[in-house]
Structure 1
């Protein structure tokens, strides 16, 4: 079992924050996070591109190369693999692993479950040690049908997925029911209106991702700060100093 896979089998769930650039990842690592993920929205939006539209393959690879040598375990949001051909998805996964990724998310976007399973199998055949977190969008894009969710996740498990991800599922009863059908760790997307991290852990969830929340919260802080300044108030909240941010780049050069 790889070190990253082992984090999914610990006594407490893996809380995985999602970064969008070197500075955000370095700040999170300084907070003691052993593993950090990327967020596809945080890759696409800064470049003026849509998320989930297979428009950021090269940017995703570039970010992986930027972060992959850092002293934390990196999991990359690879959308749907940026291709429909399982072989091409596997080749992209091989590139990500070579750049330092230890895990990837692959989402089905409610497309063919059989095709998604074929992508998972191809990736595992090409890069056996890469942790594949197979995401189904039954709750994110669909109507949350429990039967379809179980069927898709079963197909992904059978294809070799190391873990499964069901963003949008926040109901404790639904999570408990789903866990009974799984043989691999379950990843849930944290929601401020959903169960706490501790509650999700008590339910048996193995991994809790923050997705694009931190990136969107950072944008929200921009809006709050400029509103305060415009209104004659001093901005509130934590603000790293110029020198502290500069030091993050110095640390990268020294590593």
Structure 2
């Protein structure tokens, strides 16, 4: 078992902040987090590309290359693997593993579960040590899909294909979360934190083993920038912490 996999099974749940570039990843890790994820929305938006359209394969790989040897575990949001071909998804996973990436998120986008399972199996064959967090979008895109049975059936198929973890973004109902934790047994459940959903202590009590922040920090950063700008325009000094120029330079080795 890798150190990253162990974070899903021992101690407190893995609270995973998600970065969008080199500096944000380094800054988040400096707060004491043993692992940092990437957010596909942040990576895509920063590059002026659409999210969820298989448009950011190169940008994602470049970010992984710059961070894979960092002193923290890196998990990469690879959308659906940037391809419908399991062999191409496996080749991308092999590149991630080669530069030091510890984990990858692969989403099914409510496509055929069999095809997603084939991708997962191909990735595990190509990079056995890479932690595959299998995401189903039954709640994110489908409003619950065909119900809890559809979610569980998909996740069980992905586990049979070799997935190491199960990710269900959009799932916020405490009873449904607890039921899924029980049904998955030894498969660690990952949920996406929502400011209007259960708190981190609540999710811990429900048995969740990984809590991702997704694009929340990136969107908050954009909001803070706009707030600072409008305040300056109206004669107010910005409030809140602002890293010094030298501190940001240090994040990139400058």
Give the TM interval when normalised to the shorter protein.
over 0.9
- Corresponding residue number in structure 1 for 2:252: 249
Give CA deviations for 1:53-97 in whole Å, capped at 9, x if unaligned.
000011110110011111100000010001111111111100011
- Corresponding residue number in structure 1 for 2:52: 52
Alignment partners' CA distance in 2, 1:125 and 1:245: 39
Alignment partners' CA distance in 2, 1:139 and 1:77: 18
- SS of 1:111's partner is coil
Q: CA deviation at 1:11?
A: 2.4
Q: CA deviation at 1:143?
A: 2.2
- Corresponding residue number in structure 2 for 1:147: 149
Alignment partners' CA distance in 1, 2:81 and 2:73: 20
Q: CA deviation at 1:181?
A: 1.2
Does the aligned pair in 1 maintain the 2:16–2:211 contact within 8 Å?
A: yes
Long gaps (5+) in structure 2: none
Alignment partners' CA distance in 1, 2:212 and 2:235: 37
- SS of 2:183's partner is coil
Long gaps (5+) in structure 1: none
TM-score normalised per structure 1: 0.97
- Corresponding residue number in structure 2 for 1:66: 66
Does the aligned pair in 1 maintain the 2:20–2:46 contact within 8 Å?
A: no
RMSD: 0.9
Alignment partners' CA distance in 2, 1:103 and 1:72: 12
TM-score normalised per structure 2: 0.97
- Corresponding residue number in structure 1 for 2:190: 187
- Corresponding residue number in structure 2 for 1:111: 111
Correspondence 1:197 to 2:200:
yes
Aligned counterpart for 2:232 among listed residues 225, 229, 233: 229
Q: CA deviation at 1:223?
A: 0.8
Q: CA deviation at 1:217?
A: 0.5
